[in-house]
Amino acid sequence: MKSVKPGKEAFIRYDGKRMIIRSPFHPEYVEELKSNTKTRKWDAANKVWSLNVSEKEKALDILGRYFTVLEDTNPAENTNSEPVQPAQTGGVFTVQDGDKLEIWTDGACSGNPGSGGYAALLKNNGQVKEIASGFAHTTNNRMEIMAAIAALESLDKQCNITIYSDSKYLVDAMSLGWAKKWQANGWMRTKKDKAINSDLWQRLLDLCAKHTVRFVWVKGHSANRENKRCDEIAEAITHVPDLPEDKGYKRETG
């Protein structure tokens, strides 16, 4: 029998045709569960994963690689969940005028619209800084834009910046000049259609005017370590209770 390591246990039980899983947060486990099961659902209220029993063996195989798997005989007493992993600064993070920074960003949304999170990872001369937050009711695209905004707002010096994002929406709008065109047209995408998220595009354009910024698209959920880290944090933020209201989204949607 596998030895049990405190804090490394996953608890399973069954509710009809559903398998219920409660475990500590582990980013690689969550990614593997999402990638290899089709019926998994995250229950934010109870902080558990569930999936059809038809995928039981697959789920147990994944669980067994990360945790000691135990029967959940006292579910009310188990407090393991999927908490947000705190953003780490890695020590003091300083910038000087003209510094060349690399920034990775990502946004996530549980439902679209739904609970949203965003994250950014900044690197400068061996220094690393992470930024993360979210909103209770928003969209995935707004979180993608907010990640870039938050990163740039954290800088108090003029810098040369490369922002890496897996959002074509963000990268194309900035790299191909769409956002500037919408701005010049009074935030109209066409003669009949408004450009959505204009409040965030305005903030991002103003911030980019203070720096030299290049946007680069990267493939999501790939081997890029920084992109994966931002994805993990942003996804975890979506499960945080009592996130603030996205007032811009509320104004836009009425």
User: Where do the domains of the chain lie?
Assistant: 9-77, 100-253
* CATH T-level assignment (fold) for domain 9-77: MutS, DNA mismatch repair protein, domain I (3.40.1170)
List, in sequence order, every residue forming a beta bridge with 50; answer none if it has no partner.
Answer: 20, 41
Q: Per-residue pLDDT for 121 more than 50?
A: yes
Q: Which amino acid is at 153?
A: E
- How far apart CA 164 and CA 111 sit, in angstroms, is 24
pTM comes to 0.68
Q: Residues 8-20: what's their mean pLDDT?
A: 89
The pLDDT tens digits of the residues spanning 172-182 come to: 999 999 999 99
CATH 3.30.950.10 is the classification of domain 100-253: no
Centroid of chain to Cα 222: 15
Centroid of chain to Cα 119: 6
So what's the pLDDT on residue 171?
97
The pLDDT tens digits of the residues spanning 185-237 come to: 999 999 999 999 999 999 999 999 999 999 999 987 677 889 989 998 998 88
- Closest Cα to residue 246, out of 210, 209, 196, 212? 196
Q: Torsion-angle region of residue 59: left (phi > 0), alpha (psi -120 to 50) or beta?
A: alpha
So what's the pLDDT on residue 74?
64
Beta carbons within 10 angstroms of residue 94's beta carbon: 12
The mean predicted confidence, pLDDT, of the chain is 86
List the catalytic residues: 106-107, 144, 166, 221, 231
